[in-house]
Structure 1
Amino acid sequence: MTTYHYVLASQRFLLEEEPLDEVLRERVRNYQEQNKEIDFWLVKQPAFIEAPEFAEIKAKCPQPCAAIISKNSEFITWLKLRLEYVVKGEFEAPSSSIPDPIASLEAVSS
């Protein structure tokens, strides 16, 4: 099992009120320069919050929500400090309640 770290907030906050796209583009560029594998994902309506252990967090987070999920705890801590109005946490996956750590509940449009 792998430990995944996340910040979770409303989609509106993460995608409209914060210049998150700029932060993520810079992070991708930095990873590419270092030939480092991408270890973070922006997920709209993350499926992991449907796991029973996340019921309390889901109830507190405005919907629809979005998460940045990463294997890198330092990156998530940095995002928490930068973004302020997010929930920070971690989970292990794959598990019986979280089979796919970066799955989304959002319907994919064709």
Structure 2
Amino acid sequence: MSTYHFIAASEPFLTVEEPLEEVLRERTRHYGEQGKAIDFWLVKRPAFLQAPELESLAAAVPRPAAAVVSTDEKFITFLKLRLEYVVCGRFEAPSASIADPLAGGAN
């Protein structure tokens, strides 16, 4: 089981209103220069928000939702500080209610 950290917000907010694409593109470039594997993903309409253990957080996220998920807690904290109007949380996967995001079950 792995721990995933995330920020979530409305899909239009994350993909249109905020310069998130620029931040993710820069992080991808930096990882390439460092030879580091990508450990973050932009997930549109994340299924993990439907898990019972995330119900209280999910209620605060307008639909349709999007999320940036990462195994790097510091990166998610950075995004939370940089972007307003996002919900921040974490989950363990795979679990009884959440599929492993890397297996394609979070999309």
**CA-to-aligned-CA distance 1:24-82 (integer Å, 9 cap, x gap):** 00000000001100000000000101111122222221100000000000000000000
TM-score scaled to structure 1, two decimals? 0.90
Q: Which moved more, 1:58-67 or 1:35-44?
A: 58-67
Runs ≥4 residues deviating over 4 A: none
Match of 1:75, as an amino acid?
A: F
Structure-2 residue corresponding to 1:43? 43
Whether 1:34 and 2:34 are equivalent positions in the alignment is yes
State percent identity of aligned pairs.
Answer: 62
- Structure 2 unaligned regions, length at least 5: none
Check the 8 A contact 2:60/2:87 in 1, yes or no.
no
Check the 8 A contact 2:51/2:98 in 1, yes or no.
yes
Q: Which moved more, 1:83-92 or 1:53-62?
A: 53-62
Secondary structure in structure 1 of the residue aligned to 2:96: coil
Whether 1:85 and 2:85 are equivalent positions in the alignment is yes
Structure-1 residue corresponding to 2:71? 71
TM-score scaled to structure 2, two decimals? 0.93
